[in-house]
Amino acid sequence: MRTIKSAAIIGAGALGILYGDALKNAPGCETFYLAEGPRYNRIKSGHFLVNNIPVSFNVKKADDLEELPDLIIIAVKNHHLDSIIDLLKKVIGPETIIFSVLNGIDSEKFLEENFPEAHVIYSVALGMDAVRESNQLTYSSRGKLLIGSKDNDRKNSELLALGGLLESCGLHFEIPEDIHRSIWWKWMINIGVNQVSAVTGANYGVFHTNPDIQALMEEAMLETIKVAKASGIDLRQEDISNWYPILQGLGADGKTSMLQDIEAGRPTEAEWFSGRLITLAEELNIEVPVNRILLRIIRIKEAMG
């Protein structure tokens, strides 16, 4: 069975730090961040705090690597994918396992098209409530990763190697029967809770108790289900109900990544959520009015900084 002896993380946002902090404890695996230019310097001198505990991370430049990493974890935002292509070209070989923890439904396809020699594992990051402010990361739950191969082969050697690594450092994971359905399910969640939080400013605690915000979230999700069904993906209305136990388990003070982006004046991933959904809906002649309104409001908020 394949084993992973080195893991490189690209991206030191909330998820990048969350998983980096766990993976640095994986026995027999060297974990490091891969960066160049100003990003290298920011991580190198980061003096990070994770749940108020000081931590330091190993960071390397691609040109300094003696061997290519066995595993690469992509933890940037969707709008940064194009900017890391040149970096990835330096570190991906025919044996490289690569997976992204990006939101949306397109990152795996992007990686397969640009790096056909790599072994792309499909993944969904679920149930974490990590919040990064400056150099500080706080969380009450790391959640779990859903991982799978493109053809849903549960015995895929790269998939099993990744599962072994995650298990060794205490990161919870599951291998679902249909990873593509899982990815769309998480996309549905993002389209609902992330976007509604961005337009309202609500933390998870508001979503726990407020029926109006829950209704708006569900309306955005139901439009996603309509597009999914027309696209051949088996999303169902009960998938919304299945989201609530996970939502209730998130820390009340936690915030979605999109709300964090709005508050920090950063670009959001709305174009990869409602924007992408609207494009698909137009191709399928499906009306998605709630998502059209959410996208307009988020674009206004972004323009206002």
The predicted-structure confidence for 69-83, as pLDDT tens digits, reads as follows: 999 999 998 989 999
The alpha carbon of 226 is separated from its chain's Cα centroid by a whole number of angstroms, namely: 23
Render the burial of 158-185: b for 16+ CB within 10 Å, e for the rest.
bbbbbbebbebbebebebbeebbbbbbb
Residue 51: CB atoms within 10 A of its CB come to 12
Catalogue the E-assigned strands of 91-151.
97-100, 119-120, 122-126, 131-133, 136-138, 144-148
Task: Compute CA distances 179 → 64, 84, 154, 159, 288, whole Å.
Answer: 35, 25, 10, 12, 25
Q: How many CA atoms lie within 13 A of 298 on its CB side?
A: 27
Please report the domains of the chain, with CATH numbers, ordered by start residue.
6-177 (3.40.50.720), 180-304 (1.10.1040.10)
Percent of the chain's residues with pLDDT above 90? 84
CA-CA distance, 165 to 70, in Å (whole number)?
Answer: 11
Residue 50: pLDDT band (50, 70, 90) is very high
Q: Would you state the pLDDT for residue 258?
A: 94
Q: Is 200 helix (H, G, I), strand (E, B) or coil?
A: helix
The answer, yes or no, to whether residue 1 has pLDDT greater than 80, is no
The answer, yes or no, to whether residue 46 has pLDDT greater than 80, is no
Q: By C-alpha distance, which of 189, 198, 194, 196 is closest to 263?
A: 198
Query: Average pLDDT for residues 282-295, to the nearest whole number?
Result: 98
Q: What is the pTM of this model?
A: 0.90
CA-CA distance, 9 to 7, in Å (whole number)?
Answer: 7
Structure tokens at 113: 């098209």
* Structure-token match 């974990």, residue found: 31
Contact 199, 274 (CB under 8 A): no
Residue 305's contacts (CB-CB under 8 Å, 6 or more residues apart) are 265
Mean pLDDT lowest among 95-99, 196-200, 253-257, 281-285: 253-257
Q: By C-alpha distance, which of 235, 231, 215 is closest to 290?
A: 215
The answer, yes or no, to whether residue 226 has pLDDT greater than 80, is yes
Structure tokens at 295: 């996208």
Task: Compute CA distances 247 → 16, 93, 256, 273, whole Å.
Answer: 21, 39, 11, 19
Q: Would you state the pLDDT for residue 162?
A: 97
The answer, yes or no, to whether residue 112 has pLDDT greater than 90, is yes
Task: Compute CA distances 215 → 41, 221, 229, 246, 253, whole Å.
Answer: 44, 10, 21, 17, 20
Beta bridge partners of 9: 33, 73
Please report, in angstroms and rounded to a whole number, the separation of the first and last CA atoms in the chain. 50
- 10 Rama sector, left if φ>0, alpha if ψ -120 to 50, beta otherwise: beta
Contact 272, 143 (CB under 8 A): no
The answer, yes or no, to whether residue 270 has pLDDT greater than 80, is yes
Q: Would you state the pLDDT for residue 128?
A: 85
Q: What is the mean pLDDT of the chain?
A: 94
- Interval 126-176: pLDDT, tens: 888 888 888 899 998 899 999 999 999 999 999 999 999 999 999 999 999
